[in-house]
Amino acid sequence: MADPPRPEVKIDPKAASTVQVNHVDRQSPTPFGTGPVAADPFKKPGREGLNSWVVALIIKPNLDAALAAIRAAGGIATSSGGIRDLSAGVDNTRSATSFHYTGRAIDLYMYSGMFDPTTDPYVVTGDPDVGTWRVFARTADPNVTPSTLIAQQMVRIKTPVDKDGNPIAGKDFCKLKEVEVTDRFFDLTAVFLANSFKRIPAKPAFMDDPKARQYGAAEWWHFQDETGLVVGTTTYGSLLQQVRTAGELKNSSPFAAKDKIWNGQIFR
Amino acid sequence: MPPFEFALNAALLTLASLGCAAQAVPRPRSAGGPASTVNPAAPIPAKPPPAAVAPTAEALAELVREPGWNQGSDPTSFDVGSDGLRLLLVDFQSSAKAASATPVSVRRFALFGEGGRLLAEATIDKSAGGLDQVEHESRDVDGDGKADLVFYYFREEQWKNSDYGWIAATQAGKLVRGPLSLTLSGPHMLYASACWTSVEGRPVQFVNWHERTVDGQGKSLALGDRASAYAVDASGLKAIALFGVVVAERSRLAAALALVPSQHALVPLESDLLVPDCAPKGAAFLALPAARHRWLLLTGLALSKEKAGSDWPNDTPKPSHPTVVEIPKVEPNSWLIPRAQK
């Protein structure tokens, strides 16, 4: 259940007096700010995950708990980043009201799964035309019974074309093929969900054309913490204010969507 | 460090301390040096000491490390031809920002002359948790008859614009950079597909630029294609004009393609990494569908209007009404990598 709205109290260090600031729009509890969380190293030729995520402090305990569970199960947690810079632009792989701007989302390293299912730390399963993934993590734990999964593997397209036959710029287009893999796995999606992190479906740019899927829109790597959000009430701006100062938010593109309201799936 | 390399380094240091190899071994960079793609270099000595031992890749990496960067990872050196030129490839990470947000990682290419003298260097950004791939091949890019070393790189990620291109270490002791992606104003981007060919005996890279933008809803839109061509000369990478022959509108595509003989099969200009030859078995012969103008540009490449169409294959029927057109150039203003200075 979400915490009720409450005013924020700030200290003015110069005046040494207490200033009460009413944020009627702030439905979720503090703390304010962000902090780093260490990720596990992942490095293969040409592929290298980040060594951390920077996330909103309010979700840090949940992320710590999820990572502890993953590591206890013998898996690793790779990173492609957490909070997104306010100046990062949007395109068909980046939503204008992404949880990443609020520091409430993490990306596993986007090339640590779907790349080589026989060795990747993660195996991605699910129907690509539905776009909802279930991710399994590889474990060396000998107590885990080996199982067989139908993995989705990306196959790069060298010369992608659109529906009119015109070449599409960029090199991050792929098709998918199914690969049967047998190894020791545990359900990573379930571990994240047990710790308040939900998956999201692939974006249309990944699903619209099975012959030219934009890999950056696959989103199998994305998990977000929606704790404290109230359907029909929580605004996007209130979440941004939990991680960014007013000065940072002023004139930023994400803050232009500050009045959009959480509908249980997206802000609109 | 393996004992053998350690011994070599120790020997080098001993030589340097005696003044024997002082000219041959570059000094580590001093604090406050620029973190840009260019760095100064000392004058090249007339001849390196004959007994000089090539520094290890780790030792070379230390010479091109900027203040505030970490030790560097995976330093790898490559011989460029047989004249003692070495190309170092090494990754660095800025330690200054590592603790706060996303660390800044770069990949540095450095060209060393005999005895480990720094000649030039180039630096590209690495992705933030994306894909960073490099492949290389030997190819004469400047037409001097000697094989140069060409590195094709691409960075791919979802949070920043992708970056593709190549960096060639020539046997003339230069680094030349050719981008295959360009960020324009606003959300516009140019991505290229390219191939190497020879025009009038000169190595040329033929590039087809795909222009893309993002609309108000965040959807990617293809705006069109344009072509360009580049050659490497003494001053570096140079955009040159090419001339082709327009033979058909898109509606006549199939008929036009039927004119192409089998040995000049339509070449795919895209490649994951390596930029292929346009027509390894014959004269350069390209077909480019241009989305915006709905033209098929079928061309025998020429550097001058006078020669335009003159290399049309003998066994290929010429189109009935060929029109010589100039392929518009893309003028890069910062593609050249100046010589390093010390």
Instruction: Give me the average pLDDT of each 10-residue run along chain B (342 residues).
Output: 34 30 35 34 48 82 93 94 91 66 83 92 92 92 94 83 89 92 73 80 82 66 72 86 64 61 50 68 50 50 69 62 64 48 48
Whether B4 contacts B10, CB under 8 Å: no
Residue A22's Cβ-count burial label (10 Å; 0-12, 13-18, 19+) is: exposed
Q: Are the beta carbons of B218 and A91 separated by less than 8 Å?
A: yes
Query: What residues in chain B have their Cβ under 8 A from chain A's Cβ atoms?
Result: 98-103, 126, 128-134, 154, 156-160, 162, 164, 187, 189-191, 193, 210-212, 214, 218-220, 222, 225, 268-272, 289, 291
The pTM score is: 0.76
Distance from CA of B270 to the nearest CA of A (A): 6
How many domains are there within chain A?
1
pLDDT band at A162 (very low <50, low <70, confident <90, very high): low
Q: Out of B129, B191, B269, whose CB is closest to A170?
A: B191
Q: Are the beta carbons of A171 and B128 separated by less than 8 Å?
A: no
Average pLDDT over residues A243-253: 92
pLDDT over 70 percentage in chain B: 51
**pLDDT: which is higher, A21 or B110:** B110
Which of B106, B126, B158 is best to mutate for the A interface (most A CBs within 10 A)?
B158
Average pLDDT over residues A229-243: 96
Q: Domain containing A219: what range? A: 31-227
B13: CB partners within 8 A, 6+ apart: none
| Set of chain B residues whose Cβ sits within 8 Å of the Cβ of A165 | 289
Q: Is the pLDDT of residue A225 over 60?
A: yes
Identify the weakest region by mean pLDDT among A59-63, A162-166, A209-213, B30-34.
B30-34
pLDDT computed for residue B295 by the predictor: 47
Q: Are the beta carbons of B162 and A81 separated by less than 8 Å?
A: no
Rounded Cα distance, B37 and B39, in Å = 7
Report domain extents, chain B: 182-335
Interchain CB contact of A175 with B (< 8 Å) = no
Which of A79, A86, A91 is best to mutate for the B interface (most B CBs within 10 A)?
A91
Q: Are the beta carbons of B103 and A83 separated by less than 8 Å?
A: no
Average pLDDT over residues A171-180: 89
Give the H/E segment covering residue B167: strand B163-169
Q: What's the 3-state SS for chain A?
A: CCCCCCCEEEEECCCCEEEEECCCCCCCCCCCCEEEEECCCCEECCEECECEEEEEHHHHHHHHHHHHHHHHCCCCCCECECCCCCCCCCECCECCCCHHHHCCEEECCCCCECCCCCCCCEEEECCCCCCCCEEEEECCCCCCCCEEEEEEEEEECCCCECCCCCECCCCCEEEEEEEEEEECEEEHHHHHHHCCEEECCCCHHHHCCCCCEEHHHCCCCEEEECCCCCCCCCEHHHHHCCCCCHHHHCCCCHHHHCCCEECCCCEC
Q: Out of B133, B220, B270, whose CB is closest to A91?
A: B220
pLDDT computed for residue A234 by the predictor: 96
- The gap from C-alpha B110 to its chain's centroid, in whole angstroms, comes to 14
Distance from CA of B177 to the nearest CA of A (A): 19
pLDDT computed for residue A228 by the predictor: 93
In-domain check, residue A237 = no
The single-letter code of the amino acid at B208 is: N
pLDDT computed for residue B138 by the predictor: 94
pLDDT over 90 percentage in chain B: 24
In-domain check, residue A159 = yes
In-domain check, residue A235 = no
Q: How do residues A99-154 score in pLDDT, each as one tens digit? A: 999 999 999 999 999 999 999 999 999 998 888 999 999 999 999 999 999 999 99
Q: Out of A91, A159, A171, whose CB is closest to B214?
A: A91
CB pairs under 8 A between A and B: 116
In-domain check, residue A244 = no
Q: Out of B162, B222, B270, whose CB is closest to A172?
A: B162
